[in-house]
Structure 1
Amino acid sequence: MSNSRTTRTQTAPSLEDFAVWSVQPNRTDAIELINGQSATRVPELVPLRYERMGASPFTFFRGTAIIMAHDLSTQPVSGIEVQCIGDAHIANFGVFSSPTRHLVFDVNDFDETAPGPWEWDIKRLAASVEICGRDRGFAKKDRRDAVRACAKQYRRSLCSFAKMGELDVWYAHLDVEQALDEFERDLHGKTGRTVRRAVEKARQKDNQRAADKLAHRVGDALRFNSQPPELVPLSDLEALQGYADSNELFAALQELLDSYLASLPYDRRMLLEHYHVHDAARKVVGVGSVGTRAWIALLAGKNADDPLILQAKEASESVVERFWRPAPFASHAERVVQGQRLVQSTSDILLGWTKATAPDGTARDYYVRQLWNGKGSIDLERIGAGSLESVARLCAHALAHAHARTGDELAISAYLDDGDAFEDALWNFSQAYADQNEADYEVFIARHGTRA
């Protein structure tokens, strides 16, 4: 597999061309792309990454954005560029709190965001819906309904945004409870409680709850719990990180947070001056992200009953950049932050970026955000067929909004037309690519032996 952008045809594909994918068996080169990513990650966490990816074809798909970006780069493209999410699978959307404390539904993972073709995102989303449906054991009809509903919602939302003024598009957001009411009416109330549970979970996930779960008090100070390998305080990490002691490592993290302030607006810097760092730890996150360096810092405002937990997560080259073109930012962390601000209707008020240098001289980019900010993920392990269709529609609308904000929504809307060809194409593509994912999964299991 080439690491450079693939040469493409000059003729834009028809919607029927979007359906085309031929399954290729025994793709050991695809697995080498994953192994190549692991080479730059924390060595002792790589087995955990493979274990999580090896649980099922769906968890495997969550960690293979690089494989799909490579595969899509071999296909003809429309030539209409947007700010791609880059890893727009169904598990990377969810509920979170806006700065005004309203719950919205939107994309919630931006590690791979970069300029790229709009169809890369919607193809990954549609394929993830099919793979999720297979993972849940849904009938083919139910999976087809969910994938086609996803494609149809994307098409209709783009058409709606194309008729709006630019400022109206920019300010639009998806009030999750209002949207659920609408979708449940369409489906005659048969969406179950899956998404509603995510909303209730989001209401409870704030900094106080995070501190209650992850930390404990020692006198007037807050300290992180030790729950290796998912959560490891700095005092247990200094030797592994190449520092003489935890005080030196703590000072390095404090320097990282201090430099991050420069990326924030003045009012946010003033806000953070009221907080002081009590403790820090390494935290394992996600499935595909396992092994990237992720730190959490425990701060307190007025006292230990006024906590704030920030996450600093390593940012590296986007898979979209690798197979399309470089993003126009000075660092990968800035790419993630600016990309998120571009496509998301409302972002974390403390979202920013920085850079840190390890004792061995290696410089790494980090973006910083609140660990919990009213975030609620969809429980895809218990989702029903009706709820899968609702969630697919919510994701498609959020994705269409991201593309309308950053691309030519008139051109994309015209490209999609108003017939069923787009839905037909994405359903056919999703089935074929789900078969490809299962074939790649078997090669991965044979290589790493981590089937759950």
Structure 2
Amino acid sequence: MTATNQAGSHLTVAERAAQGRAARSTVPRSSHARFVPAEKRPQPIGVLEQQAVTRVPELVPIRYGRMLESPFRFYRGAAAIMAADLGRAPHTGITVQLCGDAHLLNYGLFASPERHLVFDINDFDETLPGPFEWDIKRLAASLAVAGRANGFDDGQRAAVVKEAVKAYRERMRVFSDMRTLDIWYAQDDADQLNAVLPDKSVRRRTSRAMAKARTRDSLQAFDKLTHVVDGVRRFAPDPPLITPISDLDTGTEREELEHTLRSLIERYGHSLSTERRHLLERFHLVDMARKVVGVGSVGTRCWIALMEGRDDGDPLLLQAKEAGESVLAPYCGPGRYDNQGKRVVAGQRLMQANSDIFLGWERVTGMDGRLRDFYVRQLRDWKGTPRPETMPPDVLRLYANLCGGSLARAHARSGDPVAIAAYLGTGGSFDRALAEFAEAYADQNDRDYEIFAEAVHADRITAVAA
């Protein structure tokens, strides 16, 4: 993939801006409005089935069941399908660290290490360097699909998408004039965001969401997910969503699995900084369970670990999630890391203003003899998840603004804000183009969803509600 220098190294500001403007001649801003499926576009069912090859077989039907619920839920699980569409189309070549799956539910509230509530991107399973516009297109189309699910009319959906793209463009313009360190230190503090909301009712709603996020911590998850058995704290079974390790296998197989997972938790600490490794060592492992998470991730191996510090009232919950190759890799290249867990962690640390202090990675040999990469983080450390299905048009438009601005900040940390801002310009050409693209891609998502639903009803693939 040909791309401009990510950080604009050794170029003047004028030269970096010239690079951005030059990209318009190759890919005009108005050209982003078009979405034309490739002549040999992969069939959506085939893409999903290819992903299922490396996943836990008994969990794949749950993934399909969740995707079957609605076109929006299908979109959440179809990152690989959209990556194939974007990867075959012309692009600007202006590279940033991509989230890779920047749909609107992959933003939210969580705690910084300084115990501030911040708004940021929170999913990096597909992160890789690539053309900056791919993330914006993934976000824009998700807003259009969500708007359709909410019954918004054409004008309301277009206004929501344009708001996100405008926020990205205008904030990137601000970053293009900032010092490098000031960009790096920038973050979206939730209290400051709430203060600038224009409507009292929205501020009240946001304040309630922030208060709820502060209660969604490890202690709440500890109370919800565990119980005491014969005087010992254990994960409470809730199959197939939560399955304690003791319920998965018996005898030698269970012992081997438990040994592998214990080794994973112990060894991953070497990927942490010295002081954080010391902190981790203050806890010891008590229990483990398999957990089903998300929509697109269902079927990947995901384990939760119950750690105990001083006593039973001093828990730490960790989540170890399998990291496979990014859906962007066929179009962007594999990236610089041979460990996929390290790829996820490095991308997250680069894009997020504040990352979990226990975020790290490790590789283990699975029960089938295959090497598997994992990344590890806290299961929950203050978490506010948006509910777009409850948002009227004006609220979703405000939320879109937050997402677009947050994405710009993440891209400015790794890419060249001067080149991106110069490409986007000060007018609304790119905004209007992305609004058209979002609708066109929402149409494609509807078509793919119908094909998927027909495959389920014809028993070509099995979907299970869970």
TM-score bracket, normalised by the shorter chain, equals: over 0.9
Separation in 2 of the partners of 1:168 and 1:83? 18
Separation in 2 of the partners of 1:284 and 1:299? 19
What is the TM-score with the length of structure 1 in the denominator? 0.93
The match for 2:233 among 200, 222, 225 is 222
Separation in 2 of the partners of 1:52 and 1:26? 28
- Tell me if 1:83 matches 2:91: no
Separation in 2 of the partners of 1:194 and 1:51? 31
For the 8 Å contact 1:195–1:387, the answer to whether it is kept is: no
C-alpha distance 281-127 of structure 1, shift in aligned 2 (>3 A): same
Paired letter, 1:50 = Y
Which residue of 2 is the match for residue 246 of structure 1?
Answer: 254
For the 8 Å contact 2:37–2:85, the answer to whether it is kept is: no
Separation in 2 of the partners of 1:416 and 1:195? 31
Tell me, what secondary structure is at the counterpart of 1:244? Answer: helix
Gap runs ≥5 in structure 2: 3-22, 458-462
Separation in 2 of the partners of 1:23 and 1:130? 18
For the 8 Å contact 1:151–1:396, the answer to whether it is kept is: yes
Paired letter, 1:163 = D
CA deviation map 1:14-47 (0-9, x unaligned): 1100101136899771221111001110000010
Which residue of 2 is the match for residue 286 of structure 1?
Answer: 294
The match for 1:429 among 428, 437, 445 is 437
Which residue of 2 is the match for residue 199 of structure 1?
Answer: 210
- Tell me if 1:47 matches 2:61: yes
Separation in 1 of the partners of 2:209 and 2:67? 23
The match for 1:127 among 141, 144, 158 is 141
Separation in 2 of the partners of 1:392 and 1:60? 20
For the 8 Å contact 1:130–1:430, the answer to whether it is kept is: yes
C-alpha distance 23-329 of structure 1, shift in aligned 2 (>3 A): closer
For the 8 Å contact 1:310–1:369, the answer to whether it is kept is: yes
Separation in 1 of the partners of 2:434 and 2:464? 29
Which residue of 2 is the match for residue 396 of structure 1?
Answer: 404
Which residue of 2 is the match for residue 210 of structure 1?
Answer: 221
Separation in 1 of the partners of 2:206 and 2:345? 27
The Cα shift of 1:448 comes to: 1.8
Which residue of 1 is the match for residue 17 of structure 2?
Answer: none
The Cα shift of 1:247 comes to: 3.4
CA deviation map 1:125-146 (0-9, x unaligned): 0110111111111222221111
Tell me, what secondary structure is at the counterpart of 1:368? Answer: strand
C-alpha distance 197-12 of structure 1, shift in aligned 2 (>3 A): farther
Paired letter, 1:235 = S
Separation in 2 of the partners of 1:228 and 1:322? 35
Tell me, what secondary structure is at the counterpart of 1:78? Answer: coil
Separation in 2 of the partners of 1:213 and 1:277? 18
User: Aligned residues, how many?
Assistant: 439
Single out whichever of 98-107 and 19-28 deviates more from structure 2.
19-28
The Cα shift of 1:219 comes to: 5.2
Tell me, what secondary structure is at the counterpart of 1:238? Answer: coil
Which residue of 1 is the match for residue 310 of structure 2?
Answer: 302
- Tell me if 1:365 matches 2:373: yes
Paired letter, 1:77 = H
CA deviation map 1:36-89 (0-9, x unaligned): 001110000010000001110000000111111110112111111000000000
CA deviation map 1:143-196 (0-9, x unaligned): 1111110010000010011111000000000012311331x22xx446476544
C-alpha distance 251-259 of structure 1, shift in aligned 2 (>3 A): same
Which residue of 1 is the match for residue 450 of structure 2?
Answer: 442
Tell me, what secondary structure is at the counterpart of 2:227? Answer: strand
Separation in 2 of the partners of 1:448 and 1:25? 25
For the 8 Å contact 1:195–1:391, the answer to whether it is kept is: no
- Tell me if 1:68 matches 2:72: no
Tell me, what secondary structure is at the counterpart of 1:319? Answer: coil
Paired letter, 2:195 = D
The Cα shift of 1:380 comes to: 2.0
Structure 1 residues 297-336: aligned runs within 5 Å: 297-336=305-344
The match for 1:16 among 13, 30, 33 is 30
For the 8 Å contact 2:256–2:367, the answer to whether it is kept is: no
Gap runs ≥5 in structure 1: none
Structure 1 residues 145-164: aligned runs within 5 Å: 145-164=159-178
- Tell me if 1:170 matches 2:181: no
What is the TM-score with the length of structure 2 in the denominator? 0.91
Separation in 2 of the partners of 1:145 and 1:312? 39
For the 8 Å contact 1:23–1:433, the answer to whether it is kept is: no
The match for 2:246 among 235, 240, 243 is 235
- Tell me if 1:98 matches 2:112: yes
CA deviation map 1:282-338 (0-9, x unaligned): 000000000000000001100011111000000000011222122111311000000
For the 8 Å contact 1:298–1:308, the answer to whether it is kept is: yes
The Cα shift of 1:245 comes to: 4.4
Which residue of 1 is the match for residue 20 of structure 2?
Answer: none
Single out whichever of 10-19 and 204-213 deviates more from structure 2.
10-19
Single out whichever of 215-224 and 290-299 deviates more from structure 2.
215-224
Tell me, what secondary structure is at the counterpart of 1:401? Answer: helix
- Tell me if 1:38 matches 2:49: no
For the 8 Å contact 2:110–2:383, the answer to whether it is kept is: yes
Single out whichever of 281-290 and 270-279 deviates more from structure 2.
270-279
C-alpha distance 194-332 of structure 1, shift in aligned 2 (>3 A): farther
The Cα shift of 1:105 comes to: 0.3
Separation in 2 of the partners of 1:196 and 1:15? 38
Separation in 2 of the partners of 1:282 and 1:334? 21
Paired letter, 1:14 = P
C-alpha distance 321-28 of structure 1, shift in aligned 2 (>3 A): closer
The Cα shift of 1:422 comes to: 1.1
Tell me, what secondary structure is at the counterpart of 1:296? Answer: strand
Single out whichever of 118-127 and 191-200 deviates more from structure 2.
191-200
CA deviation map 1:183-211 (0-9, x unaligned): x22xx446476544432221001111111
For the 8 Å contact 2:306–2:315, the answer to whether it is kept is: yes
Q: Equivalent pairs: percent with the same residue?
A: 48
C-alpha distance 230-451 of structure 1, shift in aligned 2 (>3 A): closer
